[in-house]
Amino acid sequence: MANVARDFFIGLSNNQFLNTRAKKWGFFLGADKFVAGTTIQSVMKAVKELNARGISCTLDNLGEFVSDKTEASQAKDKIITLLEAIHQENVDCHLSVKLTQLGMDIDQNYCMVNIREVLDAANKYGIFVNIDMEDYAHYEQTLDILSVLRRDYDNVGTVIQSYLFRAEDDLQDLQDVRIRLVKGAYKESAEVAYPDKQAIDRNFVTLAKQRLLGSAFTSIATHDHHIIDELKAFVAENHLDNDQFEFQMLYGFRNDLQQKLANEGYHFCTYIPFGDDWFGYFMRRLAERPQNMNLIVKDVFYT
Ligand code: FDA
């Protein structure tokens, strides 16, 4: 049953008609609980509130299915304006970016020009840029682009998904790169990814422990308190340095736990999406946790 719900919401997340319509309709279904408005101003307000509570942030200018250069170029300009705002407002915040938004599906060289412009602006202000990992169809291209970028920039990293069989090998190659470790949000074939949740969770813990014993910074991105507790115990047992890692969660999820981890002295970073292209992001969140439907029901009936 859980798999049926997951497939249903992932199917919706890929529906281009609904994605385009939702941009025009604006937020509904309670999406505003998980997306910090549509403007740089609205997301900055959310960042300042979290910073005031000891939580740092990473910002995602939402965007899916970018298939023409005008749209990709507009996205790049907005991201650079966002970097300028982060600098001017002097907030504790970095950037998360999806390469398809910068034109990876149009032309790899064109995407490379765009991401270099973004990284140049970020470098100028000393801001780290994380390249989000999308579905497996974009995986190798993303790692290829990263390896070229790493020759010229050290303010860039990416995401590795523990549902992929190859995650451990890829992390070996990325030992000196800042990485966000996640379970993986897309529907992938059993040829490349573990189909069952237990195996994905186990692999997440194994990979997180390997990273924690290494030297590069790791963002441990999960809402799973069992895993968080296990990793906290591992850090304590091995006398590891809290400055080598942070926990990350998505905006609007488990706010109490986010604050608790920050209060306990762990580095904590909230991933904040914003923008009008919210539909695909929101459907993937429902795919992960259909219980979030409760929020929708409340939103529809009680507001
Ligand atoms: P999971 O859904 O596996 O739940 C595990 C357990 O945690 C549940 O059984 C429950 O006990 C508890 N739990 C989870 N959510 C809860 C809630 N809201 N309330 C109460 N209990 C809850 N993916 C990707 O493919 N590419 C990417 O670039 C990113 N980036 C990214 C950034 C950040 C900051 C996060 C947190 C996640 C991503 N993801 C991602 C998504 C990721 O791959 C994954 O799909 C989701 O995080 C869901 O997996 P979890 O480990 O969070 O919990």
Task: Report pLDDT digits (tens) over 52-82.
Answer: 999 999 999 998 678 899 999 999 999 999 9
pLDDT tens, 151-201? 999 999 999 999 999 999 999 999 999 999 999 999 899 999 999 999 999
Q: By alpha-carbon position, which residue is closest to atom 7 of ligand 1?
A: 224
Q: Whose CA is closest to 204, among 239, 186, 231, 177? A: 231
Which pLDDT tens digit goes with each residue over 149-164?
Answer: 999 999 999 999 999 9
Q: Give yes or no for a contact between 287 and 10, defined as CB atoms under 8 angstroms apart.
A: yes
Q: For the whole model, what pTM was predicted?
A: 0.92
For this complex, say whether ipTM is above 0.85: yes
Cβ within 8 Å of residue 56, ≥6 positions away: 50, 92, 93, 94, 246, 267, 268, 269, 270
Q: Give me 268's structure tokens.
A: 């904590």
- CATH numbers and ranges of domains, the chain: 1-31+286-303 (no CATH), 36-277 (3.20.20.220)
Distance from the alpha carbon of residue 198 to the mean position of ligand 1, in angstroms = 14
> Is residue 27 over pLDDT 70?
no
- 250 in contact with ligand 1, CB cutoff 6 A: yes
184 lines ligand 1 (CB under 6 A): yes
Q: Give the integer Cα–Cα distance in Å for 225 and 37.
A: 28
| Residue 182 Cα: closest atom of ligand 1 | 43
Judged against a pLDDT cut of 80, whether residue 84 lies above it is answered with: yes
180 is catalytic: yes
Position 240 pLDDT exceeds 60? yes
Position 299 confidence tier, pLDDT thresholds 50, 70, 90: very low
Question: From the CB of 221, is ligand 1 less than 6 Å away?
Answer: yes
Percentage of residues in the chain with pLDDT exceeding 90?
A: 77
Mutate-to-test residue for ligand 1 from 267, 289, 293, 294, highest number of ligand atoms within 8 A of CB? 289
Q: Is the pLDDT of residue 301 over 60?
A: no
For residue 177, give the amino acid letter. Answer: V
Residue of the CA atom closest to atom 14 of ligand 1:
223
Sign of CA dihedral 213, 91, 248, 143: negative
State the pLDDT at residue 130.
98
Using CA positions, which residue lies closest to atom 47 of ligand 1? 222
Whether 254 is catalytic: no
Q: Tell me, using a 6 A CB cutoff, whether residue 171 lines ligand 1.
A: no
Of 227 and 3, the one with more pLDDT? 227
Mean pLDDT of the chain: 91
Which of the following is catalytic: 60, 105, 178, 180?
Answer: 180
| Nearest atom, ligand 1, residue 58 CA | 34
Stronger pLDDT, 161 or 18, i.e. the higher one: 161
Half-sphere exposure (CA, 13 Å, Cβ side) for 144? 10
Centre of ligand 1 to C-alpha 18, Å, is 24
Nearest residue by C-alpha to atom 45 in ligand 1: 185
